[in-house]
Amino acid sequence: MFRRITPWRLARWMLGMLMLLGWSAGCYVPTPWQKPLPNPAFQPAPLPIERFHLFDVGVTDLNGDGALDIFSVNHSARQSFLLGDGQGGWQAWPLESTGLSQSTTFPGLEDSDRAPAWREPGLYIYWNASRLILHSHRIQGTPVQGEVLFFTPIATEARGDFGTWTLEESQQGAHSVKRIRFSAAGDGDLILTPQPYPRVGSPVQIRLAEESMIERTFVGIQGQRPSQADFLLDLKDRHGLAWHPLTGARASVLIAGGANLGLTDILEPARRAYELFRWEGERYHRDDAASLGLHKGDCAARKISLQDVNGDGRVDAYVVCIRNTPNQLFTMAPDGTFTETAQAAGLGMPDGGTFAWLDVGEDGQPDLLWAGEDGVWLYRQEGWRFRGEKLSTPKIWAQTITLADFDGDGDGDAFIASKDANLLLIQEEDGLHYRPPETFGLPQASLTAHWLDVDNDGRMDLATIPDGVFRQTPDGQFQPMEVLGWPAMPPLDALRSARAVWFDADNDGYQEAILATQTLDKQWETAYLKRRPGANHWLEVRLHGPAGNEAAMGAKIAVRTSAGSQIGRVGWSESSHYSQGHYRVHFGLGDQTIVDQIAITWPDGKQQTLDRIPADQLLDIAYPNP
């Protein structure tokens, strides 16, 4: 059965077709509503976020205090963790203090653009600008001797008075081993650069000639002494972080990383699993992910997402792999262990891409919207298996997918951002249908995009890079906004990549933004925009689900006021590129000060309603236990 055609829908369709025909003929003239309109201002503010090898940015509640915090993902380099105070203030949480260091033996080993402090004479071993540096600092008398084993090609360079060194090649199984024997003395550097540059993350073996040399050896930015003469430098090449309580922990993070350049066979089994950390005390502690079944194999993981896929009340993990390696789906058992089931479920696609979980048809089962190398597909869930249907869209390389009920008809729609061509997918009775974004006044191409109600007028707007914010008008069309305080950006063809994260940092109901753009020479620029509150009202909802799905992933929230109804789902607020952790649901209410009714459909189908709720608050709602 097809949706009834209302006069509003017919008028919008006719207007869109007229615009499209005008563009095709090369004679389109912008209508008055497309001229930029004023917008309440943003205030640029400092944000100490690591830009070196930046890969992703996101928000979550890192320490369980109820405030949103900021994290970055930086491949094998140092990450940022910024604790929010709920009022817009930030405090840097040093990586070593979080417990989330990539190396289990050398906190602070991560790649960076810094050098350690030379506290005393000895050999300092650290990563700097994707190069392994062996720095001899005022070594007099007996040199520090040993060898370095690389399993990838390297380039070598000596500076100053380092001492002596030789390079040999040998074979270890299927791998060619580069062995650098060194005798470090004086004051200088031996610089070892993995090839092709930059690449960090493959394991590096260090063997000191004698145990006595440990006292004069210092590893990482913290200058930590090794506990033994034979040790491994192993970084993880992190890409996506998914934050959610797992297997009984108050807070957990599951981390997707690279494939160690195909060198997984030389690592111990524990190092061939995904990284899993649990919050205990005042910091995170590394868990045994291998014993829980979270084996990564050869997956060069990128995006990761947690979702109760099979409706059993426990969150599962879906991971995108690349390089012709099938995607992975880890389903959780009652005992907290995981089983990889992507092929059995029909979701083991081998092509790279991105995805979003969207309940098409509103049947209570999450379906997978997949934008990959082979086009855009909708994988509908039928029981426990997924059936793929290819959507009729232009062929693109997708950057991000953002979800919202932008047209206010009670179901979710999707916008796919791409440098090739943006795609707008509108949900109708029989599925998702492509519409050219230009017919709605939206940009033709973008590097990232996110639905949000930027002015809290009750209509979804679209924020993009590099074209800025497009505000939805009462007739369902969009117009570019003149955003005061928005940073000047290079044109699309001058940018390589972009990230944008939207969230309410100070709990005033108006969302702040972290914007990051990467130029063609791979340099990142970041901006933090603090939103000045406006006159419109708002409501933010934070659900507390049952054990196993504490964030209530996938829950549907409908709010009704005298001005109309809106829906949102837990997970739609997420604007991180590869990561997950933002579970609040935001509603703009315009001039309405009271929400007449909030109707919640929990992931297990249970219904709950609340009546006469005051606006302008962050509302916590707990799962209704019997």
Q: Which helix (H) or strand (E) holds 9?
A: helix 7-24
Residues 194 and 245 in one domain: no
User: Residue 13 carries which side chain, given as an amino acid letter?
Assistant: W
Contact by Cβ (8 Å): 404, 460: yes
In this structure, what DSSP letter does residue 551 have? T
Residues 227 and 247 in one domain: no
Contact by Cβ (8 Å): 556, 600: yes
Residue 40 has a pLDDT of 53
What range defines the domain where residue 190 resides? 122-233
Which CA distances in Å does 487 have to 333, 465, 510, 525?
47, 11, 18, 11
- Give the strand order in the sheet containing 375-382: 353-358, 367-372, 375-382, 385-390
Residue 92 lies in a domain: no
Residues 441 and 333 in one domain: yes
Contact by Cβ (8 Å): 516, 540: no
Residue 417 lies in a domain: yes
Peptide bond preceding 196: is omega within 30 degrees of 0, i.e. cis?
yes
Residue 215 lies in a domain: yes
CA dihedral over 270, 273, 275, 281, signed as positive or negative: negative
Residues 543 and 411 in one domain: no
Residues 518 and 381 in one domain: yes
Residues 404 and 501 in one domain: yes
Residue 563 lies in a domain: yes
The pLDDT tens digits of the residues spanning 161-183 come to 999 999 999 887 777 899 999 99
Two structure tokens written together for 220: 């990482």
Residues 527 and 543 in one domain: no
Residues 458 and 346 in one domain: yes
For the beta carbon of residue 571, count every other beta carbon within 10 angstroms.
23
In the three-class reduction of DSSP (H, G, I as helix; E, B as strand; rest coil), residue 166 is classed as: strand
- Give the strand order in the sheet containing 537-544: 585-590, 537-544, 618-622
The CATH number of the domain holding residue 206 is 2.60.40
Given 482, 505, 531, which residue is the final one in a domain?
531
What are the residues whose beta carbons fall under 8 Å from the beta carbon of 582, sequence distance 6 or more?
58, 59, 60, 68, 501, 503, 573, 574, 575, 576
Residue 101 lies in a domain: no
Residue 585 lies in a domain: yes
Given 531, 563, 588, which residue is the final one in a domain?
531
SS3 assignment for 411-424: CCEEEEEECCCCEE
Two structure tokens written together for 325: 């390696």
CA atoms of 191 and 207, how far apart (whole Å): 17
Contact by Cβ (8 Å): 248, 262: no
For the chain, what is the domain count? 3
Residue 31 lies in a domain: no
Given 485, 505, 531, which residue is the final one in a domain?
531
The pLDDT tens digits of the residues spanning 396-438 come to 999 999 999 999 999 999 999 999 999 999 999 889 999 999 9
Residue 8 lies in a domain: no
What are the residues whose beta carbons fall under 8 Å from the beta carbon of 594, sequence distance 6 or more?
561, 612, 613, 614, 615
User: Residue 320 carries which side chain, given as an amino acid letter?
Assistant: V
Peptide bond preceding 624: is omega within 30 degrees of 0, i.e. cis?
no
In this structure, what DSSP letter does residue 570 have? T
Q: Which helix (H) or strand (E) holds 342?
A: helix 342-345
Residues 306 and 408 in one domain: yes
Contact by Cβ (8 Å): 515, 465: yes
Q: Note the helical H segments in 185-288.
A: none
In the three-class reduction of DSSP (H, G, I as helix; E, B as strand; rest coil), residue 216 is classed as: helix
CA atoms of 221 and 95, how far apart (whole Å): 11
The list of the chain residues with pLDDT below 50 reads 1-38
CA dihedral over 36, 42, 45, 50, signed as positive or negative: negative
Which CA distances in Å does 204 have to 50, 111, 201, 265, 327?
25, 13, 9, 14, 28
Complete DSSP assignment for 261-330: GG-GGGS-GGGGB-EEEEEETTEEEE--TGGGT-B-TT-----EEEE--SSSSS-EEEE---SS---EEE
307-310 contacts at long range (C-beta below 8 A, 24 or more positions apart): 307/357, 307/366, 307/553, 307/554, 307/571, 308/366, 308/548, 308/549, 308/553, 308/554, 308/603, 309/345, 309/357, 309/366, 309/381, 310/384
CA atoms of 400 and 57, how far apart (whole Å): 13
CA atoms of 397 and 68, how far apart (whole Å): 31
Residues 487 and 612 in one domain: no
Question: φ and ψ at 488, to 5 degrees?
Answer: -65, 140
SS3 assignment for 59-88: EECCCCCCCCEEEEECECECCCEEEECCCC
Q: Tell me the Cα Rg of the chain.
A: 26
The CATH number of the domain holding residue 253 is 2.130.10
Residue 388 has a pLDDT of 96
In the three-class reduction of DSSP (H, G, I as helix; E, B as strand; rest coil), residue 211 is classed as: helix
Residue 378 has a pLDDT of 98
Which among 364, 405, 329, 357 has a CA at the least distance from the CA of 603?
364
Contact by Cβ (8 Å): 143, 137: no
Residues 201 and 259 in one domain: no
State the burial class of residue 609 (Cβ atoms within 10 Å of its Cβ: 0-12, 13-18, 19+): exposed
Residues 515 and 562 in one domain: no
For the beta carbon of residue 199, count every other beta carbon within 10 angstroms.
17
For the beta carbon of residue 392, count every other beta carbon within 10 angstroms.
9
